[in-house]
Amino acid sequence: MDTTLHDPLVGQMLDGRYRVDTRIAVGGMATVYRAVDTRLDRVLALKVMHPALATDVTFVERFIREAKSVARLSHPNVVGVFDQGADGAYVYLAMEYVAGCTLRDVLRERGALQPRAALDILEPVLAALGAAHLAGFVHRDMKPENVLIGDDGRVKVADFGLVRAVGAATNTTGSVLGTVSYLAPEQIEHGTADTRADVYACGVVLYEMLTGAKPHAGDTPAQVLYQHLNADVPPPSAAVPGLSVELDELVASATARNPEVRPHDAVALLAQAREARAALGDEQLDLVPPQARTGGDGPAGDGSEDPTSVIARALPGEEDGVQRTSRLAVPPRPEPQPVPAGPARVPRVPFGNARRGMLAAVVAVLLVLGVGAGVWYINSGQFTRVPTVLGQTQAEAEKRLADAGLDVKDVKRDYSTAYKRGTVMAADPAPGDRIRGNGQVTLTVSRGPRIVKVPNLKGLPLDEAKRELTKAGLAAGVITRALSQEFERGTVISTDPEAGTERNPDSAVALKVSKGAPVDVPDVTGDPVEDATRTLEEAGLTVKVAPARVHSAQEAGSVAAQSLSRGSEAAKGDTITLTVSKGPRMVDVPDVTGKNVDDATRELEGAGFEVKVEKGFPFLGDTVDSQSVGGGEQAPEGSTITIKTKGL
């Protein structure tokens, strides 16, 4: 059943720009939709906060603030944030749309992965988190659902909705944010999280990729939380015999219950993961997990069928939301040969079988990553040297590497006083090193000095001030506007923090911008529109005439109301909207003759008239004898009706 049919947003235009096509996923705080940006004609993902949360002003402010922070986190393995806004009760993020599946989908369909595939997924995840950690953010909700695997093989980390600045308070004040199976002990016990909490979650995800199951299980969330606090994550080799000790050590390091023992951030864990991979041979990397060795449709474990590698892929023409499944037969692995005593020797395997087995394993890994087998290129004899890229911008370095037939595997960022901000300060392998012709290079880009000073921006136009902040390694924060006799309209009055203050790179600086000198707003109510426009423009104001006219006490064609009244705060160039009168409304006059004066007065006032009472002399009673406008006739709304009592 297609539940999106019942979603009120599907088929609607959000904020006059984003056409919502279908619902992708529903989470605890938001729903994610596939949508089309009709302005730029591109497909993207819309993350829309649940309306119940949108009423919480504090939560919305945090949501918006963190969205702006994540939008500055540019990394090839992070789902990009394009826009943020609100439309009525809907607060949303416009994000990069990644066609493919999640790591959870892969694990659900396939179970445990081969170590090579697990590391191929883990490394870009750690690269993304490493960039976030270096920029001062903690994800706090790492899990397979937040790891996207594109149809083109790219791995991206999504849903930074729970991020916090590392330097900011992270106490959850009574509630733990995150997913139970991946929470670090300190998150559960103290409600706090730093970069090491993400490291712990990645260790749990790695365990799950290697074994096909979570390390801690229980009938209730409380039981799982208790195990996180009181039991170590077991070595994955206990569940999958044959896994190397290096993988056991990698999981143990990342999931140490004491955060002081863990790698301090994702960058450090990434280095450990690469060391572990380098220590493993092809046989260890391509170890087929037990559930992958029971193949075909035969009984599990009977060995009657060849092992089968299974992975769900969305194919063109899929119908009714059903994804077809690609299967690739994997030949049986050769039996391990006994190793004689003395110097270690590699057992000989017939070339044909070994070659076919290696190729099948490679293709199986590619299927997990969503890549067609035809893109894999192997040529052990083709080598080149890493070109010189130090001191170049990231874009220049990537182009130079591409011209040499190399790809950028990862981009790190670090502080440097020797290299300008945004330029390459290191490469791995280093410039001049030999590397396979289709190899990959990790770049380290300078973030500039560790501490930067806020520049003096007073008197600069806003656009120029923003450029100066970017050049200094800072970012423009909240922009407010105020009247100023001293500073021209559109120039910076002051910054917060003040010029000369030391800040970490990428910190936000609030700007106060001049609206110009204050202008006295003249009162033009009742004036003809032409005269009113001339008076306001001579005062330095801009005039806009509202298209709709209204009934008022003013004569038709004159100004009935102005958007800023006399004495209001305005600056030169501000716009005043004039509403034009179409004259008073004509109202039926009730007949009040013969009625008590008080009753007649109430009835006339209720019809919208002013009332004047004239009593005859000598006073012979309070009964209305006549009225200035007869009953049944019409008079302008708000005009005065005179009633008289009888006299001699």
615: confidence class by pLDDT, cuts 50, 70, 90 = confident
Decide the pairing of beta strands 137-138 and 424-428: unpaired
In sequence order, the β-bridge partners of residue 577 are 544
Tell me which residue of 221, 176, 182, 180 sits closest to 200, measured CA to CA: 182
- What residue segments make up the domains of the chain, in order of their start? 1-97, 100-291, 292-334+351-375, 383-446, 452-507, 529-580, 586-645
| Tally of CB atoms within 10 A around 214 | 18
CATH class of the domain whose range is 529-580: alpha beta
Q: Which residues are catalytic?
A: 141
In sequence order, the β-bridge partners of residue 148 are 102, 156
pLDDT for position 237? 93
pLDDT for position 494? 94
CATH match of 586-645 with 3.40.50.720:
no
Which region among 124-138, 150-164, 186-200, 532-546 has the lowest average model confidence (pLDDT)?
Answer: 150-164
Which region among 113-117, 203-207, 579-583, 617-621 has the lowest average model confidence (pLDDT)?
Answer: 617-621
Q: Mean pLDDT throughout 247-269?
A: 94
Which phi and psi (to 5°) does residue 643 adopt? Answer: -115, 145
pLDDT for position 301? 35
Per the CB < 8 A criterion, the answer to whether 367 and 409 are in contact is no
Rg of the chain, C-alpha, whole Å = 36
- Helix (H/G/I), strand (E/B), else coil: 211: helix
555: confidence class by pLDDT, cuts 50, 70, 90 = confident
The reply to whether domains 383-446 and 452-507 share a CATH topology is yes
* pLDDT above 90: percentage of residues in the chain: 40
pLDDT for position 246? 94
Residues 6+ apart with CB under 8 A from 468: 455, 457, 460
Tell me which residue of 257, 283, 285 sits closest to 187, measured CA to CA: 257
Peptide bond into 618 cis (omega under 30): yes
291: confidence class by pLDDT, cuts 50, 70, 90 = low
574: confidence class by pLDDT, cuts 50, 70, 90 = confident
User: d(Cα 100, Cα 121) in Å, to the nearest integer?
Assistant: 14
Measured between its terminal Cα atoms, the distance across the chain in Å is 89
Q: How far is CA 24 from the centre of its chain?
A: 16
Q: Mean pLDDT throughout 278-285?
A: 93
- Helix (H/G/I), strand (E/B), else coil: 221: helix
In sequence order, the β-bridge partners of residue 110 are none
| Tally of CB atoms within 10 A around 268 | 19
Sign, CA torsion 421/426/428/432? positive
- For the cut 90, the answer to whether the pLDDT of residue 612 exceeds it is yes
User: d(Cα 264, Cα 267) in Å, to the nearest integer?
Assistant: 8
Which region among 92-96, 297-301, 449-453 has the lowest average model confidence (pLDDT)?
Answer: 297-301
Could you tell me the two tokens for 440? 């990959």
Tell me which residue of 647, 577, 571, 583 sits closest to 615, measured CA to CA: 647
User: d(Cα 83, Cα 93) in Å, to the nearest integer?
Assistant: 6
Q: The CATH number of 452-507 is which of 3.30.70.260, 3.30.230.10, 3.30.10.20, 3.30.420.40?
A: 3.30.10.20
pLDDT for position 648? 56
The CATH fold assigned to 100-291 is Transferase(Phosphotransferase); domain 1 (1.10.510)
pLDDT for position 383? 67
Comparing 117 with 416, the larger pLDDT belongs to 117
pLDDT for position 327? 29
Tell me the CATH number for domain 383-446.
Answer: 3.30.10.20
Which region among 33-47, 48-62, 140-154, 471-485 has the lowest average model confidence (pLDDT)?
Answer: 48-62
pLDDT for position 272? 94
- For the cut 80, the answer to whether the pLDDT of residue 324 exceeds it is no
The CATH fold assigned to 1-97 is Phosphorylase Kinase; domain 1 (3.30.200)
User: pTM here?
Assistant: 0.46
Instruction: Report DSSP state, residue 251.
Output: H
Which phi and psi (to 5°) does residue 380 adopt? Answer: -65, -15
Mean pLDDT, the chain, rounded, equals 79
- For the cut 50, the answer to whether the pLDDT of residue 359 exceeds it is no
Q: Mean pLDDT throughout 400-410?
A: 88
